[in-house]
Amino acid sequence: MDENEMIAQRRAERSRLMVVRLAAYLNICNVDRFDQVPPHVAKCFLEMKYEEMIRPLVLNDRANGMAFRGLAAKYMIDHVTASRLCQPRPPKSVAPMKRFHPLPKD
């Protein structure tokens, strides 16, 4: 197994672990292993980006007093990413609606 395959395998294991944690946090299911998570739940969570998946978990742990370095170790991210995930998201801007000219009368 080459280095790229090992990295991909570690990332997959990390994602599966976070699926279990997120499912428990959201009270969807309280299981110990990834293969016990309902398939439709696992599929939904695995389609998310890793940072999107762990953000609620990171915010909860931070609210409970965990330091950024602790968050980084627990979620296998760097402390800068942990800090960024805890920042409020800017509101999404919506493009203004285009004004349509009224239709000509026949």
pLDDT band at 12 (very low <50, low <70, confident <90, very high): very high
Map out the domains of the chain as residue ranges: 1-48, 50-87
> Greater confidence, 26 or 93?
26
pLDDT band at 100 (very low <50, low <70, confident <90, very high): low
**CA 77 to each of CA 9, 19, 36, 58: distance values in angstroms, whole numbers, following the listed order:** 16, 16, 25, 11
Q: Output the pTM of the full model.
A: 0.77
**pLDDT tens by residue, 54-84:** 999 999 999 999 999 999 999 999 999 999 9
Which residues, other chains included, contact 41 with Cβ-Cβ below 8 Å and sequence gap of 6+? 19, 23, 28, 29
CA distance 32 to 73: 20
